[in-house]
A and B are shown apart, each in its own frame.
Chain A
Amino acid sequence: MDSQGPLPSTPASRFDIGLIVNGTSHRLAVDARTTLLDALRDRLHLTGTKRGCDLGQCGACTVLLEGRRINACLTLAVMVHGRAITTIEGIATDGELHPMQTAFVQHDAFQCGYCTPGQIMSAIGLLNESRTTDEATIREHMSGNICRCGAYTNIVAAVRDAAARGS
């Protein structure tokens, strides 16, 4: 099957799917059960996207689906066949950090760093939504990303800074 072609028209348990991850087309054979998070981490070895809860509750697995932030753990890989996914590995360009990454470094917006890829992808998704970026809005619209280390104060500062610089 062509990696961007249609899926079978009758129910099946195994699929050849195409995923466009960070601009690169990949073809992979997956089980219907394979989540997007499993496909990214275990099959494409893009382990920047983290698994925290597998239930949508922590945000560590946040990626962009055609620019919109989603939880990769609540998405079946087969459901995003042929679509464009952006992960933390795909946001730096030519060795230059993405402005949101730079802001996180400058504001020391992490401790252990486990939640950080999800926080950064979520923050980029937030800026794509063109909302106001006062502190209250950022706090509310970043609430899908939990930080066990409690680095919230610096995370909010980093997102405000990146927003102000028009990242």
Chain B
Amino acid sequence: MQYSSQAVAKPYFVAAIGLFVGQIIFGLIMGLQYVIGDFLFPAIPFNVARMVHTNLLIVWLLFGFMGAAYYLVPEESETELWSPKLAIVLFWVFLAAGVLTVIGYLAVPYATLAKLTGNDLLETMGREFLEQPLPTKLGIVVVALAFLFNITMTVLKGRKTVISSVLLLGLWGLAIFFLFAFYNPVNVVLDKMFWWYVVHLWVEGVWELILGAMLAFVLIKITGVDREVIEKWLYVIITLTLVTGLLGTGHHYFWIGTPEYWQWIGSVFSALEPIPFFALTVFAFNMVNRRRREHPNKAATLWALGTGVMSFLGAGVWGFLHTLAPVNYYTHGSQITAAHGHMAFYGAYVMVNLTMISYAMPLLRGRQANSEKSQVLEMWSFWLMTVSMVFITLFLTAAGILQIWLQRIASDPQPFMVVQDQVALFYWMREWSGVIFLAGLLAYLASFFVGGKPAEARAS
């Protein structure tokens, strides 16, 4: 750590990991509800567990992005953070907002929560991923703006690098597109159309800029490859991202009432979306192969390479699988969607955050890298989580193919619930894979508590 204000990143990373654990516990609850339908009913109905699962995911990823920005920007800008105090205040505000929201979901019926929190003033609740009550949504905006102000001021007063500009662009985009969460017209088609301005333009747009910047930063640090080379790659990757991803939004406009020309535009451009993810993988391996130093943090290197591979598999391959309109006609809103959603979110955004945390946390704790023992455990957790996520994806894909066949293609299509019963075996296997995932996550937690002599760089 070169600047003392980078230390504010630490609570952000800790909170991120804590909420990640909560996310997975609710994932396992839902996984069980898939096969034992009335598990925890009526105390925690499925829709409540789902809100908790997905909202915790989003909130912890945002914690991770903010922590990453607080860590990375001072170092890139070669100056202290504009206001570390503001960063700490915002941390507590954001954590309180997140925790209170989850408590609200669990403690009272959703309709009551809506009434209590002023949904009648401005109706924004009850849409997937955007379930947060109005005060939470406003809180997110306030925190995001104050955070962006802090980061932007830091960049402005210091050295300007490509990495910090791309990161800033991504973060500003994240905040701006979130404003569409406040637009909820009565017309369902319009509602759905602009809902994707948040969801798609986040994960297949501006978040990829954040991902690219974070990965580029870590790669510079661990490989020692020339900044010029890495920054050129970064530009190429994010160009490919936006050139394909903006019009790629069309892959969500096939069947929601929007004009049919989107079947062409959406299919063609989203079919190209795997390219930036492929470039990201090549980039990560290329830089590691061309490394100029042997960084002692082997775990961070593993996470960085893993991000490349898994985001390509989850977003690129599993995205391509169902993105052409004639295929999506059958797969739309099936378990195939769930399979893709899991591996894409894990491979891209979970893993890039864990890459950053893996690299920065030891430095925040006063050493260049953790002990060999701690790193071995962390690498075990990498493999446990990653391999179990591959299996979750495969089982959901199998369930999805059967579901589509029985419900949408067979000559005698069967009702949804009848089909669900027939594919229960795959949901059981998904749940067991989820248990392994949790074991991996616990190993990850444990790796923070394994002491020992910090690993040192070995001459190669």
Q: A and B: partners?
A: no
